[in-house]
Structure 1
Amino acid sequence: MTDIATPSCRRTNRVWPVFVLVLLEAALVISWSAGFVGVRFAIDHAPIFLILLWRSLASGLILLPFALAIGPPILWRDAVSQMMFGALAMSGYLAGFASAISFGVPTGLVALITDMLPLAVAFLSWPILGQALTLRQWTGSVIGLAGVLIASGWSLDMGDVPLWAYGLPVLGTLSLALATLLQKRSPTSTMPVYQSLCIQCLSAAAIFALFAWHEGGVLPVLDAGFIGGILWLVFVATFAAWSLYYLALRKSSPARVTAVLYLSPPVTMIWAWVMFGEPLSWGIAAGLAVSLFGIIIVASPQKKAHV
């Protein structure tokens, strides 16, 4: 029997997932940007690797009972893969941008460098996935990057900072791009997010503990500012941001998900305005508009030719 309602039903089924994906990506941008704000807040109360240690350790320990009691049994081979992703995605990325800030690299410049993630993904996609961005996606990425430059350019004050410190967020971004692509092609990508996030947090905590010990110790600072910063980083910048990141990655392509993160530097500046009273400018508004235009170009589906 012919189903005459098929075209409209198909349209409805396509619109609803896209709507959900857009909401998911908006929440991702807000929570991802909150990580920069949390680091800025907590860095006044403790050394950077002590902050990263307790952020990762607290996150992993909170998730551990759920990871063990709920969901499929965790196989050793899957756990080892997630440990590798934790070392690349969490340890590499977080240590890269946070250390750069602690060495005096301006936060706006760090946000700008880390948001070149789509270009890093494109650079690594061919050898890892055998894929390459189309001309349309490259064009959208360049426009999105231009918007970030407009919105973040006012804060690019080089200052008296070691030259090598500017390479830290670059290395962190390449580390996250590599982990993103490996996660996409990994057979363990079907592991529930709370399980993979738990393993990655604990493996990152083990790495950060070594650096924190070298900095002076691993014990937490009994200070309201430190505790509040850690809670912010755990529940907003870790549970919300990374869970949404991996969920979006499973529902979409690495190019689209990482391109959406182009909005994080301008949104970070809005966070700073709300929480710290930092002034906004027309440049930020213009950058937001240009970035959004570039993201729409990258994220919009390609039209297939009719035969």
Structure 2
Amino acid sequence: MPDLALSPTAPNRHRLLWPAMATMLVIGWSSGFVGIRFANEEASVFLLLFWRTLLSGVILLPFALAFGPRLSLRVVLSQIAFGVMAVFLYLGGFALAIEQRVPTGLVALISDLLPLAIAALSQPVLGERLSGRQWLGTAVAVAGVLIVSFDSLTVGVAPLWAYGLTVGSMLIFAFASVLHKGRSELHIPVHQGLCIQTLTGAALFGLCALVAGDGLAPPLTRDFALGMAWLVLIATFATYSVYYTSLRLFPVAKVSAAIYLSPPVTMLWAWALFAEPLTPAMFAGLAVTLAGVWLTSRT
């Protein structure tokens, strides 16, 4: 499995590269809903995340050992720390918030504001300054996300700390994304980095599942197996690979802006696979979000 990093001049030579990668990123990012929808009825959130990350890491392990440079202890420890942030704290934080009865619509909305946090962090940490047009595009995209999510928003009765957990999880992933862009030791071949990160997540999620009394045995059902296949192959391998590669090639705020399209595309997945209804507000929100992403991503 080759290193997915490209030369710095590649984006200038291939004008269609970013639209193609942004499309793959949005499809993959939004598809996580499908795998969770299949598997969530069969297992607790920590057991689900344990098997998602364990299978991902085990599949990648032989490729990580056979292909790519020899990794120093410093690089491995950096990848482990990144896995704690980008896999365990990010995915686990949202999962725990939902388990504490924070409404799913509110969790999804906070998660989908990730690009806004990344845009705010990219200037002080990386020196990537957004133009006035890009900030306008960000505001328009956020408005589109709010339109799409409005019907599903409720406050709920979860403890106060659980609401803070959703915001904290989003901010942690935003910081991890900016960190990945700025630290050279994180720029190893994608399959090696993702292997270390997912195995780190598997160890921590497995410990959480044991503490919660869920055990580690997977449900032997068709829906759980289908959900795992979807989460591993599409939501993990395809999505994270495209995301990390995009961060190496393009400004971090530009990459993250594509994620604003995740909510409306998720609703299209739900309509196509689970016959969930589409509303005029969803299409209006999609149009507004597209305009905002276009303004933010334009060069």
Please show how residues 64-103 of structure 1 align to structure 2 within 5 Å: 64-103=61-100
SS of residue matched to 2:276:
coil
Q: Which amino acid aligns with 2:278?
A: L
CA contact (8 A) 1:111 1:264 kept: no
Q: How far apart in 1 are the matches of 2:220 and 2:85?
A: 30
Structure 1 CA distance for aligned equivalents of residues 12 and 249 of structure 2: 14
Q: Deviations over 1:46-89 (max 9, x none)?
A: 01001101100100000000000011112211111111111111
Answer yes or no: is 1:149 the counterpart of 2:127: no
In the alignment, the residues of structure 2 paired with residue 136 and residue 45 of structure 1 have an alpha-carbon distance, to the nearest angstrom, of 46
* 1:62 corresponds to which of 59, 64, 69: 59
Unaligned runs of at least 5 residues, structure 1: 1-12, 302-307
* Partner in structure 2 of residue 254 of structure 1: 252
> Which residue identity lines up with residue 197 of structure 1 in the other structure?
L
Give the counterpart letter for 2:36 in structure 1. Answer: V
Which residue type is aligned with residue 72 of structure 2? L
Which amino acid is 1:63 matched to? Answer: L
Q: RMSD over aligned Cα, in angstroms?
A: 1.7
Q: How does 1:29-178 map to 2 (within 5 A)?
A: 29-178=26-175
Structure 2: state its 5+ residue gaps: 1-9
**Cα separation, 1, equivalents of 2:31 and 2:116:** 23
1:128 Cα deviation from its structure 2 partner? 2.3
Deviation at 1:16, TM superposition (A): 5.8
Find out whether 1:266 has 2:264 as its counterpart: yes
Q: CA deviation at 1:135?
A: 2.2
1:214 aligns with 2:216: no
Matches of 2:97 and 2:238, distance apart in 1: 23
Which segment drifts farther, 63-72 or 134-143? 134-143
Q: For residues 179 and 15 of structure 1, do their structure 2 counterparts lie closer, same or farther at Cα, with a shift above 3 Å needed? A: closer
* Structure index of larger Rg: 1
SS of residue in 2 equivalent to 1:18: coil
**Structure 2: distance between partners of 1:18 and 1:168:** 39
**Deviates further, 26-35 or 122-131:** 122-131
Residue deviations 1:223-274 (CA, integer Å, cap 9, x gap): 2222221111111110011111111111111101111100101111111111
Alignment CA distance shift 1:184-1:14 (3 Å): closer
Residues 91 and 117 from structure 1, CA distance in 2 versus in 1: closer, same or farther, beyond 3 angstroms? same
The secondary structure found in structure 2 opposite 1:183 is helix
Within a 5 Å distance, the mapping from 1:182-221 to structure 2 comes to 182-216=179-213, 217-221=215-219
Contact 2:180–2:186 (8 Å) recurs in 1? yes
Q: Is the 8 A contact 2:180 2:187 kept in 1?
A: no
Q: What corresponds to 1:7 in structure 2?
A: none
2-structure distance, mates of 1:176, 1:201:
15
Quote the offset at 1:161 in angstroms. Answer: 3.1
Q: Does the C-alpha gap of structure 1 residues 14 and 114 become closer, same or farther in structure 2, counting only changes over 3 Å?
A: closer
Equivalent position SS for 1:71: coil
Aligned partner letter, 2:105? G
Instruction: Give the alignment of 1:228-307 within 5 angstroms.
Output: 228-301=226-299
Percentage of pairs with the same residue? 51
How many Å apart are 1:15 and its aligned residue?
A: 7.2
Letter in 2 for 1:242: Y
